[in-house]
Amino acid sequence: MHNVKPSLVCRTIVLTAVMTASLGAQPARPNPPAPPSFASTTLQQVDSIAEAEFRLDSLGSITLGVVSGRDLVWSKSYGYVDRARRQRATPSSVYRIASITKQVTAVMLLQLTESRVVGLADPVARHFPEIAQVKGGVGPHAPTLVQLATMASGLPRGPNDERRSSSGPPDRWVQSLMSALPHTQFRTEPGTAYGYSNVGYAILGAALSRAAGESYVDYVRRRILRPLGMTTTDFTLSPDTRDRLATGVDYDVLYRDTLNYEDAARDHLQGLGYSVPAGGLYSTVGDVAKLVSFQIGFGPDSILRPETLERRNAVPIASFPELYWGYGLGVQVARWADTTAVGHSGNLSGYTSQVYYDLTRKYGVIVLRSAAGGRADAHRLAGRAFRKLRASHEGK
């Protein structure tokens, strides 16, 4: 799905009225509406949906959480966190959240625009001239920061270097990126087509770090994770989080339906190389809930002012012509008939994840899974749970 490239100008998804209004025309911001209260019977139905999804293959573990306003109001885990299947998963289990990290990188971009360190329309070369090493030079049409953040940069998913730049510790990710640039080539002219790009988000992280005068990892810890109270979220594993880490497993169809634990284990040891700003975080359902609560408008305002979040929501969304999926500023958008959700997915060796939230109704769903492939699906589960909660809130 992410490889399809519709024209950016062909369609946009209108999520809410605030997402299409200009920032300057906004009236005084009212208090957020009261978040929904979900009945125990509804949460039992969500539990049944998750249990059935997990039992499709019983691979690894799944942890699911429901957020309403400021709070994680319900969470439950299914399966085991260890290969021997002796230790059950709990809501305190740690997972790789992969590309959900991009939402954090997008918050960094918005913070730096709020403080006028950078502008959304700044060409990336102003802050990261090394982008000139990318092949297929686009001259005066080099991508802007907002084009990197909205997957409209024209860059590919990753470099063509046989994954050599895809390993390396978090404190050396910039060096890995530098080695990847000569092996990267523009696919389209910036601003003309959607194209999911991990290397684009890595370049965005490098440009923002350069502009901030602080390493990306240190900035994110100091300005985003700690203020949000995400105490178990980081780019590296501490002794405590390593003990709580869910063992990742891949279901390999190509190798006679075997289970592959080696790739995920290797990534923990070797690191993800250049991909740190695109997918480097570990977290728990409780910590991700704090990020979701922030994204739906429950602060703290010291991280981003409400008007900055409104500016984010007004950035146009590149959509498939059928209007069932799109990408905005650090957010993916999914649509099922008259139901729309904002959030982000994550996929890495041994791990899949999905967050969906409703910017108007102020609730969200989190699914973290320590498996990739197989019959169960974190994205499908998140969508089903999200729609069940929406239907119960509206009395359907």
Q: Which pLDDT belongs to residue 215?
A: 98
Q: Which pLDDT belongs to residue 138?
A: 66
Q: Which pLDDT belongs to residue 163?
A: 87
Q: Which pLDDT belongs to residue 235?
A: 98
- In the chain (396 residues long), the average pLDDT of successive 10-residue segments reads 40 36 39 85 98 97 98 98 96 98 98 98 96 83 93 96 92 97 95 95 98 98 98 98 98 79 96 98 98 97 96 90 92 95 98 97 98 97 98 78
Q: Which pLDDT belongs to residue 257?
A: 77
Q: Which pLDDT belongs to residue 139?
A: 64
Q: Which amino acid is at 232?
A: T
Query: Residue 214 and residue 351: Cα distance in Å, rounded?
Result: 30
Q: Which pLDDT belongs to residue 32?
A: 61
Q: Which residues contact 31 (CB under 8 A, 6 or more apart)?
A: none
What is the token pair recorded at 73? Answer: 């109001």
Q: Which pLDDT belongs to residue 162?
A: 84
Query: Residue 350 and residue 373: Cα distance in Å, rounded?
Result: 8
Query: Residue 93 and residue 72: Cα distance in Å, rounded?
Result: 15
Q: Which pLDDT belongs to residue 2?
A: 40
Query: Are the CB atoms for 375 and 54 separated by under 8 Å?
Result: no
Query: Are the CB atoms for 334 and 344 separated by under 8 Å?
Result: no
Query: Residue 249 and residue 259: Cα distance in Å, rounded?
Result: 7
Q: Which pLDDT belongs to residue 256?
A: 64
Against a cut of 0.95, is the pTM above it?
A: no
Q: What are the residue ranges of CATH 3.40.710.10 in the chain?
A: 17-26+33-98+232-393, 104-218
Q: Which residues contact 142 (CB under 8 A, 6 or more apart)?
A: 123, 124, 125, 131, 190
Q: Which pLDDT belongs to residue 224?
A: 98
Q: Which pLDDT belongs to residue 10?
A: 40
CATH superfamily of 104-218: DD-peptidase/beta-lactamase superfamily (3.40.710.10)
Q: Which pLDDT belongs to residue 393?
A: 82
Angle subtended at Cα 32 by Cα 29 and Cα 35, rounded to the nearest 5 degrees: 170
At 50 the three-state DSSP class reads: helix
Q: Which pLDDT belongs to residue 14?
A: 37
Q: Which residues contact 265 (CB under 8 A, 6 or more apart)?
A: 247, 248, 350
CATH superfamily of 17-26+33-98+232-393: DD-peptidase/beta-lactamase superfamily (3.40.710.10)
